[in-house]
Amino acid sequence: MPYSPISTLLTKRISRPVLIVVFAAVRACTHARATGIHNVVQPEGEERTNIEVGAAAAPPQRHLANATLFMLARNSDIDSAVNSVHEMEDRFNHNHGYPWVFLNEEPFSEDFKRRVSNLASGPVHFGQIPYEHWYQPDWINETVATEERNKMVADNTIYGGSVPYRNMCRFNSGFFYRHPLVQNFRYYWRVEPGVHFHCDVNIDPFVYLQENNKTYGFTITLYEFSRTIESLWSTVNDFMTEHPEYVVQNNAMHFLSDNGGANYNLCHFWSNFEIADMDFWRGEAYSAFFEYLDSRGGFYYERWGDAPVHSIAAALFAGKDRIHFFRDIGYEHAPFMHCPAEPDIWKRGRCACDIEHSFDYNSYSCLWRWDRLFRGDRMFGDDGR
């Protein structure tokens, strides 16, 4: 759910981005493409609406995973949301017909529903976020929170003064996977308004995760703003001390820390692109982790983002072998882009991106740290680059 283009906000060389969320939902079900009718689920208390859409395209292949494409958006995002849906359908979903779930803290307009539904090859569902999942909890000390926001504004911290942005980060960290519209799905692909998919996606990434026992997939990894998460790592260490049973043996601590966990190096997976298993977020370890973080109030007293929260949890509680770099999916969320570096992958995917402009080994990228964990599988020098 964008607030303003990040490229207009990054006036310095520092380019740590903000989070915007859109999920594409996938589900093994019979869809109504053949009839040109999509059943659209409204927020609780509203009537079910049937939206007629064009049926010019051939019926898509049956999808094989219990998954969804998910987008968090506002009515004001309509043009950028339509563009993202169009590119996702063109590059991937027209062959599969996976359903879409759109969530908003307010009811979607009829125009929003009509325009995005017209592009979808599978069922489309629209829902409203429950009040208690979106807004700042009553137990947050607003005096303290206001003081901290004002300090961040004075420090020119991106979105430092925004409460809605904090609401979004907390929702993406601990609530999206609980929404009734996604409860029956296991996997999701998060899609945001205004993103670009530069290559054909010739595999089904949901099936890939399922068949290879993967939990989390990413395309871009970079450093977080330290000012926004000053107490996050100490809180993570407190949790690990109290719950060592949740930290898996084959974890990715060396991706997160350069000194065995004493300090956080700020690396995280950029969560505006996520293809992941919601059963992990719903599981015992992550549920305990989120509740612990939430109880400390850091989403509001600081500006903890869902990207470091998800990344730290996946690295420690799922393990490095269950995290996958989708190097063949060309993806862009301005100002950063991942473009497949391998010529055969680039050609096979009919990629439109310029490899020379890929963010992968930019000085602000953490991909070399990820490569270092699997040095035997990569063709880099001793420093992992």
Residue-by-residue DSSP string for 319-385: -GGGEEE-TTS-EEETTEEE---SHHHHHHTT--S-GGG-STTSTTB-HHHHHHHTGGGS---TT--
Q: Indicate if the pLDDT at residue 111 is higher than 80.
A: yes
Query: Does a structural domain hold residue 243?
Result: yes
Q: Indicate if the pLDDT at residue 190 is higher than 50.
A: yes
Mean pLDDT value across the chain: 86
Helix (H) or strand (E) holding 210: helix 205-211
Query: Does a structural domain hold residue 384?
Result: no
pLDDT of residue 61: 58
Q: Indicate if the pLDDT at residue 32 is higher than 70.
A: no
Q: Is 274 a catalytic residue?
A: yes
Mean pLDDT, residues 111-136 taken together: 98
Say which CATH number the domain at 292 has: 3.90.550.10
Query: Does a structural domain hold residue 348?
Result: yes
Please state the pTM of the whole predicted model. Answer: 0.84
Mean pLDDT, residues 186-214 taken together: 97
Number of independent structural domains in the chain: 1
Distance of CA 347 to the CA centre of its chain: 27
pLDDT of residue 60: 55
Q: Which SS3 state, helix, strand or coil, does residue 70 take? A: strand
Query: Sorting pLDDT into bands at 50, 70 and 90, what band is 280?
Result: very high
Query: Does a structural domain hold residue 382?
Result: no
Q: Indicate if the pLDDT at residue 374 is higher than 80.
A: yes
Sequence-separated (6 or more) residues with CB below 8 Å from residue 382: none
Considering the candidates 105, 274, 302, 332, report the single residue annotated as catalytic. 274
Question: Backbone phi, then psi, for 379, in 5-degree steps?
Answer: -110, 55
pLDDT of residue 31: 36
Tens digit of pLDDT for each residue in 79-102?
A: 999 999 999 999 999 999 999 999
Query: Does a structural domain hold residue 126?
Result: yes
Sequence-separated (6 or more) residues with CB below 8 Å from residue 142: 136
**Domain span holding position 201:** 6-377
Please, which residues bridge with residue 217 across strands? 275, 324
pLDDT of residue 124: 98
Tokens encoding 140:
């947050």
pLDDT of residue 375: 73
